[in-house]
Copies of this chain bind each other. A is one copy, B any other.
């Protein structure tokens, strides 16, 4: 008996906004069937959760999922959780090298592999520690601070002794969450008309580390407040992803006058150091030093595009 497999397929490059419908604009929906016979060297993976991060706007193909059944029974047990770039579908047939077993550190949960112990948490870790090189006493700004990466980045800065950790987010609720739940020293709603003044007020010693997920006007405002030898870890530019004509940082001459290092990075470059990072992150998570933030969209596979950033996000 053949089982069906619904798939969301990628049809056209956004131009520039994503069409969140499934009507063959950006995406389409189709139903295929799973073969009766799974090749001996493949694993049949049932997709339980898809993780959607802003960076995927730039890939538009890869995502992660969890597993169910296999013919590689010596290496994968039916029902084990794995993480993989499965595609947006209900089932994926993947080679052994394409799936990674989820190891759950003590005090953590399997779902953590999609957040703090996954790509977003690792991105926060390497961006804040290796690129931003945060040190005790620093003033740290995180944009997109209420997001999966930003929220962890800010918490890591606090763990490492930053003097002031300030989050930029897009609503008063998110700002309250950052201050009250995650221990940020301050949070600024960049939709407030006076957000630049607020930024100035909370950075009396200027900005040592900027962990940027947003770009655009926010990057410019932070350059204007850069401290001597500041490190700007450029993680993303969500405000620009849908822009036909991206906006460069007009204040980039501060890069010269304040000797700013602006460095882009991608988490995969640090793959060799994942084990160390996961050990630290798992420990902090178990100790409650890092708090989880999850946003789960229900409604099955068809709801997946709802998880995409709206065209207005971050602008």
Contacts and interface: CB of A to CB of B under 8 A. Distances in A.
Interface string A222-265: 00000000000011110010000111111111111111111111
Contacts of A235: 256
The 9 closest A-B CB pairs, nearest first, are A248-B248, A255-B264, A256-B264, A248-B249, A248-B250, A262-B262, A261-B263, A248-B252, A234-B255
Contacts of A237: 252-253, 256
A261 B261 CA distance: 7
Nearest to A250: B248
A266 interface: yes
Contacts of A264: 254-261
A36 interface: no
Interface in A212-229: 215, 220
Query: What is the size category of the interface that chain A forms with chain B?
Result: 20 to 34
9 contacts: A215-B252, A235-B256, A248-B248, A248-B249, A256-B264, A257-B266, A259-B263, A259-B264, A261-B263
A256 to B, nearest CB: 4
Given A252-B252, A258-B264, 7 more contacts: A220-B248, A236-B256, A245-B250, A247-B250, A255-B263, A257-B264, A261-B263
A4 interface: no
Interface string A255-294: 1111111111110010000000000000000000000000
Contact of A256 (B247, B249, B258, B266): B266
Contacts of A254: 264
B252 A246 contact: yes
A180 interface: no
Contacts of A261: 261-264
